[in-house]
Amino acid sequence: MTTYLIPALILGGCGVLAGILLTVAAKVFYVEVDERVEKISDALPQANCGACGYAGCADYADAIVNSGAPTNLCRPGGADAAGKIAGILGTAAADVIPMTAVVHCNGDCNATKPQFDFDGLQSCKAVKRFYGGNGMCKYGCIGLGDCAAVCEHDAIKIVNGVAKVIPALCGACGQCADVCPNKLISIKPKSKTVDVLCSSAAPGKATKLSCSNGCIGCKICEKKCPNKAISVADNHASINYDLCTSCGICAEACPVKAIRGLAKKQED
């Protein structure tokens, strides 16, 4: 009897002691949590996309309450989330600029062709590992939809071999940009309506041989832009959206129509 009793008592005593120590530790190391953190976290869309610059929605909520982070950084939540956060904090709602993703490529099936057939895993990332991709243009959209697969808003479609964004559905979370192996996707303000749809770093002649819609780096757009918002580097044009007024002059001047978009009506 004693053989079983003593071990049982020792084990029970250890359990009681561990419970006491855990209780004391919980009291000593208790950190009071501001209830606003949980409320703000609940007000966010829980996309945990990292577009705000923080690890996830909970981390961002904590930063707002305890570190004074701006309340308008959640792109997927937009003005709605910013308004809810302001209500929880009792502050004025911060302005939110609607954003959207844009794919800087227009190398569709009518403009370029595949260089070889790929029978492996039908993924842009997988194809990119073989000779830089299966397209004539190694800088263009591979078109197998890795970006569409990660989009939670169904805002990206593969149309005629190229990814296209539906701005009205896009939450600008940036997950599509993260998975694109050719880094063709960027985030821009929805109000900016003109975009360069080419990312080829090849010289103009090589670009035209691989894609008829490609930018040839002629710099006509750069010279025509009245706001110095467009420049040519690495053999292709790019737009500084902070300077762009969406006048559309660059798109009209582009000889190969690598710049697309509707010109906004300019205010007097």
CB 107 within 8 A of CB 141: yes
Residue 26 has pLDDT above 70, yes or no: no
What length is written for the chain?
268
Q: Are 141 and 163 in contact (CB under 8 A)?
A: yes
Mean pLDDT over each residue of the chain, to the nearest integer: 91
Q: How far is Cα 99 from Cα 52, in angstroms, rounded to an integer?
A: 12
* pLDDT 10s digits, 45-56: 998 999 999 999
Q: What pLDDT does 266 receive?
A: 46
Whether this model's pTM surpasses 0.85: no
pLDDT given at position 28: 67
Confidence (pLDDT) at 131 = 87
Domains along the chain with CATH numbers: 35-89 (1.10.15.40), 98-190 (3.30.70.20), 192-268 (3.30.70.20)
Q: Tell me how far apart the alpha carbons of residues 205 and 37 are, in angstroms, rounded to a whole number.
A: 56
User: What whole-number distance in Å separates Cα of residue 157 and Cα of residue 149?
Assistant: 10
Determine contact, residues 250/194, Cβ cutoff 8 Å: yes
pLDDT in tens, 165-203: 999 999 999 999 999 999 999 999 999 999 999 999 999
